[in-house]
C-alpha cells in the first residue's frame, strides 16, 4: 500500500520472524466471508460511518461474492466464469 500512497490496507497478514517473511500467513486470511468480517472490524475499530448501500466493491472471483453482496453497487471486474454467471443472474455490472 505504501508504494501506491495508500495509508490503510485490509488483507491477509504475512508472518515475519526476526525481520524475515516466513512464507506463512496469519489467520484470519482475507478470503471469502473473512473479507466481510475484516472490513466490518476495520469500520468498527475506526469509528467510521459508511453507507454500504451507496458503496462500490470491485472483484474478480466467485469467492468475493460475500463482499460484493455487502454493498449497493457490486461490480464484477474481469470475473471468473462462476462470478460472471452470478453477476449476470443478479443484474450486477460486469467489466468487461
What pLDDT was estimated at residue 1? Answer: 81
How many domains does one find in the chain?
1
pTM of the entire structure?
0.86
CATH, residue 59: 3.40.50.1000
Answer yes or no: is pLDDT of 2 > 90: no
What pLDDT was estimated at residue 94? Answer: 99
User: In this structure, are strands 73-77 and 93-95 parallel, antiparallel, or unpaired?
Assistant: parallel
Q: Tell me 92's DSSP state.
A: -
Q: What's the rounded mean pLDDT across residues 15-33?
A: 97
Higher pLDDT, 4 or 70: 70
Q: Which three cell numbers stand for residue 60?
A: 474478480
Q: Which three cell numbers stand for residue 72?
A: 449497493
Q: List the domain range (segments joined by +) for residue 15.
A: 2-95
Q: What's the rounded mean pLDDT across residues 2-21?
A: 94
Q: What's the rounded mean pLDDT across residues 15-24?
A: 98
At a CB cut-off of 8 Å and minimum separation 6, what does 78 contact?
Answer: 60, 95, 96
Q: What is the pLDDT of residues 33-84, one digit of tens each?
A: 999 999 999 999 999 999 999 999 999 999 999 999 999 999 999 999 999 9
Q: Is 41 helix (H, G, I), strand (E, B) or coil?
A: helix
Q: Are 95 and 78 in contact (CB under 8 A)?
A: yes
Amino acid at each position: 500500500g505504501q508504494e501506491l500512497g495508500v495509508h490503510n490496507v485490509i488483507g491477509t497478514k504475512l508472518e515475519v520472524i526476526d525481520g524475515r517473511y516466513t512464507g506463512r500467513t496469519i489467520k484470519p486470511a482475507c478470503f471469502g466471508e473473512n473479507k466481510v468480517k475484516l472490513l466490518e472490524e476495520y469500520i468498527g475499530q475506526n469509528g467510521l460511518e459508511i453507507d454500504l448501500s451507496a458503496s462500490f466493491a470491485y472483484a474478480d472471483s466467485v469467492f468475493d461474492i460475500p463482499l460484493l453482496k455487502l454493498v449497493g453497487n457490486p461490480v464484477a471486474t474481469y470475473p471468473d466464469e462462476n462470478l460472471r454467471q452470478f453477476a449476470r443472474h443478479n443484474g450486477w455490472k460486469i467489466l468487461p
